[in-house]
Amino acid sequence: MKRILSFLVTSALLFTKLIAQTSSVAGQSSIDKFFKELISDTTDLSIYCDSSEFENSMRLGIKYEGVKNKFLISYDIDKNVKDKISNGSYNYELKKVKVDNKGYEQVTFTVPDLSYTKDFYFHNGKYISPVTFFTKSWKRLTTRYFSFIISDTTHFNNYSSDQLEQYTEGMLSLLRITESEKDLLKSQKIKYIVCRDSAEIRKITGFNTRGIYLLAGDEVITTFNCHFHELAHLLMNFKIKNNSLFCLPFLQEGFASATGGRGGITRSIIANIGYFLEKSGYIPYNSIISYRDFSSEDASVTYPVAAIYSLFLMNELGIESYIGLYRSYSGNFDFVSNIRTEEVKLPSVEKYKKFLSKFKRDEDIKPESSPNKTKRIYSGSEGEIFDENDYYLFRIKSDILLKSNENFQGYKSVRFGELFPTALYSGEKYLVSAQLREVKIYNLFTNNLIATYSTGLSFDQKTIPSEGGYFEFLVKKDIFNEGLDNLKISEIKQ
């Protein structure tokens, strides 16, 4: 009897081990086959993709012309590397590392002779994106339109999520998104992934940036609490649905900058800069229309000029015709990169000049004093603030902080930490910073620059008036969400 029991136990253990080995081999062979098919570049690879990953990629109904495997956009092996392997010139190696006992695996694809390396990730033998892999234990937060995935919860707050919701509502109205499409967004959500820093973004995406819209999963990945620019890209693609992979950047970045600003800078500031660059003749719009011309200049000038021109186009054509124009200069890279300036059909120069002549540049900050200074609402060692009808008059030494009643326990402003690495942040909402040639106002909850005046970007080149060691300037009241008499004002404590 003991021998029978021993035989049965031994048989059971051997059978269990055999099943485990068979399962492991099947998982490995599935991964091997994934790379073989990936290199051939001819097959739909969805059978090798984790079902949740595939569903995530397709959840918003956004597609791209000529793309068989959307979930691999920007994660794929470079085409020239594939071609060299396919024609027998080079071989590749796979290094597989089990990350944990929950079925996660990292596979490093290497072509030694080309010094080419790329990491891929799998769960139970099925492909998953780096985003899914690296954020699996991050904090989740869901709102009406968003699914937030947050690396460090001390860097985010509910005020920012509310601002993103409001912005999205406005964009859905601008783009004339239907009610059924809104319902789709509400149910499937915009994925907004907040990283701790640019190094974390680079680890996840491979891109050295502070924010990006990833097409594979329709996800905004950013270090900014309110990255409206990348969100604008996503919402435009959601409107179009059947997209091309590339669009003339003069229009693509022009739209995102006109409606969403740039990372950390509001759209009104970007439009003001664009207006100045155009009117001063520094960089005319028709000098950056082609892909090559746009790419040859720095984004700090091309994006604002493209933004002011896109504002003109939307005003002149209406949003539907603007989108039609946008789509007509979209396609594969060869098509977009070879579009010549003279081939782009745009309204006349005269119409644009007329638009610029009527454009009202926001004067959120004026380098002016006031002789009255009668209605003082604050006085302290840092300076004074006066009520001047539609404006506040600031009289300050350099930097002051404004704190509202809103309290986000444990929140740390990344922007504040960048500007003042050794100073103490205590939940303030605004930072007002003044120098001889510049005034800047930040919202420290969103970490965005919300108003600025720069001597170098003004037509009359005025500096900031000063008297007795204090800078004096006017700030439009509607820059702030609340009256300053309801805020606590303090200096920066090192």
Q: DSSP of 342-370, one letter per residue?
A: GGS----HHHHHHHHHH-----SEE----
pLDDT at position 92, please? 96
- Sheet with 139-142, strands from edge to edge, namely 139-142, 146-150, 190-194, 219-222, 211-214
pLDDT at position 309, please? 98
pLDDT at position 492, please? 86
pLDDT at position 19, please? 37
pLDDT at position 143, please? 98
Task: Read off the pLDDT of residues 103-120 as tens digits, 9 standing for 90 and up.
Answer: 999 999 999 999 999 999
Residue ranges of the chain with pLDDT lower than 50?
1-28
pLDDT at position 295, please? 97
Task: Read off the pLDDT of residues 146-171 as tens digits, 9 standing for 90 and up.
Answer: 999 999 999 999 999 999 999 999 99
For residue 443, give the H/E element and its range. strand 438-443
Q: What is the signed CA dihedral for 67, 72, 78, 80, rounded to 10 degrees?
A: -30
Q: What value does the mean pLDDT of the chain take?
A: 92
Angle (deg, nearest 10), helices 249-260 and 319-328: 150
Q: Where are the domains of the chain?
A: 26-134, 138-243, 249-361, 365-490
Tokens of 215: 């097409």
How far apart are the two ends of the chain, measured CA to CA in Å?
81
